[in-house]
């Protein structure tokens, strides 16, 4: 049943879903082997997996930007709107009054998040498609 589900997910989701499923299986097996060897080995394997995930996330962002650039290049009309403001601030304080032997502690934070990324690609500029590929070395 499990193999059938994985096969169906790979067929429906395409090659990207297949890569994700294979990657999760490989990571899970590595963690299982490391957990049998003890805590230091498990910590080392977890650190390796974290580095691999960061690298894969970076590659995915690059691939996404390349795909967007290619669509911009091939579109007859492009409309782009981008807004980013991920600002935030926080404060903490401690007040002590020695005369009355009282004190107070407080903190506050303020978070503002504005994110909008809209792309609209209309028409085709009549250019031939090129394929960009990226591999992990």
Q: Tell me what pLDDT residue 52 has.
A: 87
- Residue 108 in tokens: 């506050």
CB 134 within 8 Å of CB 62: yes
Which of 129, 127, 121 has its CA nearest to residue 68?
A: 121
Torsion angle (degrees, nearest 10) of CA 119, 84, 64, 57: -160
Q: Tell me what pLDDT residue 135 has.
A: 62
Phi, then psi, of 99 in degrees rounded to 5: -65, -50
pTM of the prediction? 0.45
Q: Per residue in 50-77, pLDDT tens?
A: 898 888 888 888 888 888 888 888 888 8
């Amino acid at each position: 049943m499990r193999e059938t589900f994985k096969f169906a997910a790979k067929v429906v989701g395409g090659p990207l879903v297949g890569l994700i499923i294979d990657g999760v299986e490989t990571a899970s097996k590595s963690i299982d082997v490391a957990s049998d060897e003890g805590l230091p080995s498990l910590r080392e394997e977890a650190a390796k997996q974290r580095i691999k995930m960061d690298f894969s996330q970076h590659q995915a962002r690059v691939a996404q930007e390349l795909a967007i650039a290619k669509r911009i290049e091939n579109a007859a009309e492009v409309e782009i709107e981008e807004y980013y403001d991920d600002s935030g601030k926080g404060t903490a304080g401690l007040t002590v009054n020695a005369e009355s032997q009282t004190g107070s502690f407080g903190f506050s934070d303020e978070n503002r998040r504005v994110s909008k990324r809209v792309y609209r690609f209309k028409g085709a500029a009549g250019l031939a498609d090129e394929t960009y590929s990226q591999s992990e070395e």
